Amino acid sequence: MSSAPLPQTSATVPPLPHARELDLEGLEEALRRGPARRPRELALSLAAALYRHGALTRDEVAAKTPLGRERLAAVESAVRLGPLLELERRVPSQADGGARLVFSVSRLGGKEAVEAVAIARRDDLTLCLSSQAGCALGCVFCATGLLGFRANLTAGEIVEQHAWAVRTAGHRVTDVVFMGMGEPLLNYDAVIAAAYRLTRAEGPQISCRKIVISTVGIAPRIRQYAREGHPFQLFFSITSAIPEKRARLMPIEARYPLPELREAIDEFVRSRRRNRYATLQYVTIPGENMGPEDVAALGEFTRGLKCIVNVIPYNAVIDRFRPPTWREVSDFTRSLRAIQVPVKVRYSSGKSVAAGCGQLAADLIAAGAPSGHMTAPPGIFSDLHG
């Protein structure tokens, strides 16, 4: 009696890594496994095309590198080329030159939107990057939080936002802030990898001093960051130093309460070799966190801490809150003199096209761009009531 033949199975071949998901060392390692000659030289050329020149397609890689047909074929036998994101639209602000970039993520079937903001200031271009599609933390004043969490972005997807921003703005990015969609420290490895890639000599060469990572206060990751000694600045979202108020506005307070956050911030400040100041971000919302009790609580939180309070006037997202007038912001910042810490007011570029702080993804929640926010930074116009 003969036995039936076993079914034929084919070995699963792992997909090639995408070139944009690899740094210089990763590109060299991938090319060494293929037929490419002089892999180090080839990796340098490929990294420069991807990260310095922003090449997105196979043809652009070929145009930005001295690769002949044979060497390009060797590259394609080791890594995949092509964009990771698709630019759905660019929404410019005529008011201040900011622009919101809306992408779909190819890896997610194009079903998830990710947004970045390009902020032009004379010869400088600041890029506000997203680290996640959506956000799980549910801060009630933030449009992205209303979406809920969708997915972490890869390092390559984060860095590719830079390539698109340079392409659409027409000049070099000088500053990067991880303040877009998502909580960066909940996508820690990808964010740190992307930040370093933006500083590399074969890449955009952005100074590490010009890269800021913003967090709502993921205390264990703040401590990890401090231990590892990364050179980028961390900003900390406080918004209220009264635990009950903060828990209502920022649910993360229940997980990592203010005393634990303060200890983590202290550890971060002690770890710094230079610029040993913490920047505390405070979204001002009338009737919520701008009273004398809020000032007193913030003074207690900052006691003994070298810090700067970065006041961010709430930008319209939902009808639940009203944006402050400039008079209210001015009165609040004046009251902060009592706690004797430096205070700055951040002007959010692109508010009229839902590109301001807290507004990313607002047009996915409600039709039309939000309105009612302040339209001018303090000191630019004399009317403090608009």
Contact 289, 239 (CB under 8 A): yes
Q: Which of 115, 157, 202, 328 is catalytic?
A: 115
Q: Which of 128, 135, 142, 357 is catalytic?
A: 357
Contact 62, 72 (CB under 8 A): yes
Distance between terminal CA atoms of the chain?
92
Q: Most distant CA pair in the chain: distance in Å?
A: 98
How does DSSP classify residue 313? E
Q: CA quadruple 160, 315, 99, 230: dihedral positive or negative?
A: negative
Return d(Cα 251, Cα 264) in angstroms, integer: 18
**CA angle (308 as vertex; 306, 382 as ends), nearest 5:** 155
Contact 353, 93 (CB under 8 A): yes
* 115 catalytically annotated: yes
Six token digits for residue 300? 């207690």
Return d(Cα 157, Cα 289) in angstroms, integer: 36
Query: Tokens 């206060």 belong to which residue?
Result: 217
Active site residues: 115, 357
